[in-house]
Amino acid sequence: MQQVEVQDLRVDRLNIRDSLDSSDASAPRPTAHTNDLHLDLLPPYQVSAPDTAIDTEPASLQENVMEPPPELSQEQRSNTDNSITDATSTTEQGQISSLKDAAADYGLDIDSPASSKSARESQKWLHDDTPTVAVEMPTSSEDDNKPQSVAVQETASIVSSDFTQTSINANLGDKEAQVALGDMYLDGEGVQQDYQAAIEWFLRAADQGYAIGQRRVGYMYHYGLGVTQDYFAALTWNLKAADQGDAGAQSNVGILHREGQGTSQDFFKAMEWHLKAAAQEDVDSYTHIGNLYFYGEGVPGHYKRAIDWYYKAAEKNDSFAQSNLGGMYRDGNGVARDYSKAMEWFLKAADQGHPDAQENIGGLYRDGCGVAKDVRKAIEWYVKAANQGSATAQHNIGCLYYDGHDYSLAMTWFRKAADQDYMEAQCSVGLMYQNGHGAPVDYSQASRWFFKAARQGHSQAQYILGGLYEYGDGVPQDVTTAMEWYLEAGRQGHMEALGRLYYLRQYGASFY
């Protein structure tokens, strides 16, 4: 079975990152903007090429729609209706009061004045807290002198022996061993990765009332590993564990309420569950509570209180909180702007492999904030994040190569990000085709990529697409469709689009 990266439901992290826009439009027929920065051509970094080659033929624009998972049986739902209802149904005023009472019970204070905040897009970071089975490595000087191949063989033997013993204990009904064996199948440790086998062992432990097993089952349902993805079932199993006081499950229930997965969205309930987990020193929940304060969800928005919670988590070496603190210092939210402190916190998180922190360090070097401007170092840090799949980092690398006039590499990086459905990159790919940068001029391909970005609400792509329809470049000339796209862009405040819309309404298609 193919190895895949597994992440857990434990953390929905605040994503504080910047973006780099390489396009500018001030004319009816927009073109890519190249700024005055001239760089030596930068060497390609060792990363995998895009999975698909740059298209030469237009593909269908129809979206792929996933079939919804089957409903749970009536018996399954009836067994959990009461617990779900209890966890979601109170009046807003009562929720606020109960939150304050809960906070007091846990020695925590959530009452604070409201403060203004800027809008930010939040990306959810979910990671796995599944413990892998520990393997004790040889440490004697005699072992140090052994050939590497021998050491590897001995390690494999230890893992195999550990799997065998765990299997015996699990089959004897040991619930902890059942979870450990499920973890082995989940991670592919000492055995071939098998999600169905993993959830079967988690269910055996869960059926014995073991909270960790119940949480694991909820995790599997949330991500559809070995079972059909089902948020309601994920909530149900996490509630079973949360009601036993499992802090990880309590945090998960908080996330599900915040996201409205398996239940209606309820920020008050999210805060309540995270407070319960925080009272048990659940580090993830410290960060969740900070996020809720940052966005003013369930509590009045308050940057300083968000920072307080981030510090609690960051001091426990939580990389997400460390990255968030870096963003707060960089942007001056709740603290005086301090690029040195921003870099300090970003580096702490980046050293743990946190992609957002790596990307943000790249941004500091790119813009010369707190450090000497260094485009090569910016790309080095962006590449670290890009190799972990960060679409924004991939797009930023493409923009820097574009500014250095290496259009081939720029197109490569734009495509990597665009293939992840990142609308900024999709617009950039469209501009590359429109202007013949990194690929021959191809208005048909340009219109395809502009459409991908436009349907996601990218106002610049909507404006450009309107221009293609107005002039019949790569698409049939259709002034009515052009006006529709100009209107979509205009609704987002795109002034050039409003100008074209006004012009066409005044003069109509007969002008052409």
Cβ partners under 8 Å of residue 450, min gap 6:
426, 427, 430, 461, 464, 465, 468
Same domain, 40 and 137: no
Same domain, 54 and 106: no
Same domain, 261 and 141: yes
HSE-CB of 372 using CA atoms within 13 angstroms? 3
User: Average of pLDDT values for 119-147?
Assistant: 38
> Is the distance from CB of 251 to CB of 10 less than 8 angstroms?
yes
In this predicted structure, the answer to whether residue 480 has a pLDDT above a threshold of 50 is yes
Of the residues 429, 461, 483, the one at which a domain ends: 429
pLDDT > 90 fraction of the chain, expressed in percent and rounded: 66
The total number of structural domains in the chain stands at 2
**Helix then strand then coil, % of the chain, to nearest 5:** 60, 0, 40
Q: pLDDT (tens digit, 9 = 90+) per residue, 45-63?
A: 333 333 333 333 333 323 3
Return mean pLDDT, the chain: 78
Same domain, 97 and 229: yes
Same domain, 396 and 378: yes
* Res 267: pLDDT: 97
Residue 450 and residue 431: Cα distance in Å, rounded? 8
* Res 158: pLDDT: 56
Q: Which of 473, 466, 476, 425 is nearest to 23 (CA)?
A: 425
pLDDT band at 156 (very low <50, low <70, confident <90, very high): low
Of the residues 268, 286, 311, the one at which a domain ends: 311
User: Average of pLDDT values for 1-28?
Assistant: 33
* Res 225: pLDDT: 97
User: Average of pLDDT values for 121-132?
Assistant: 38
Instruction: Please check whether residue 289 lies inside any domain of the structure.
Output: yes
Same domain, 135 and 279: yes
> Is the distance from CB of 463 to CB of 430 less than 8 angstroms?
no
> Is the distance from CB of 166 to CB of 200 less than 8 angstroms?
no
Structure token digits, residue 502:
């006004």
* Collapsed DSSP state (helix, strand, coil) of residue 31: strand
* Res 130: pLDDT: 43
Residue 240 and residue 218: Cα distance in Å, rounded? 9
Please return the burial class of 102, using the count of CB atoms within 10 Å of its CB with bins 0-12, 13-18 and 19+: middle
Same domain, 45 and 86: no
Choose between 505 and 361: higher pLDDT.
361
Same domain, 233 and 93: yes
Q: pLDDT (tens digit, 9 = 90+) per residue, 357-402?
A: 999 999 999 999 999 999 999 999 999 999 999 999 999 999 999 9
In this predicted structure, the answer to whether residue 16 has a pLDDT above a threshold of 70 is no
Instruction: Please check whether residue 506 lies inside any domain of the structure.
Output: no
Same domain, 165 and 186: yes
* Res 306: pLDDT: 97
Of the residues 373, 395, 429, the one at which a domain ends: 429
Instruction: Please check whether residue 126 lies inside any domain of the structure.
Output: yes
Q: Which domain holds residue 221?
A: 71-311
CATH number at residue 209: 1.25.40.10
> Is the distance from CB of 100 to CB of 155 less than 8 angstroms?
no
Q: pLDDT (tens digit, 9 = 90+) per residue, 68-112?
A: 334 444 444 444 344 433 433 333 444 445 445 544 554 554 443
In this predicted structure, the answer to whether residue 113 has a pLDDT above a threshold of 80 is no
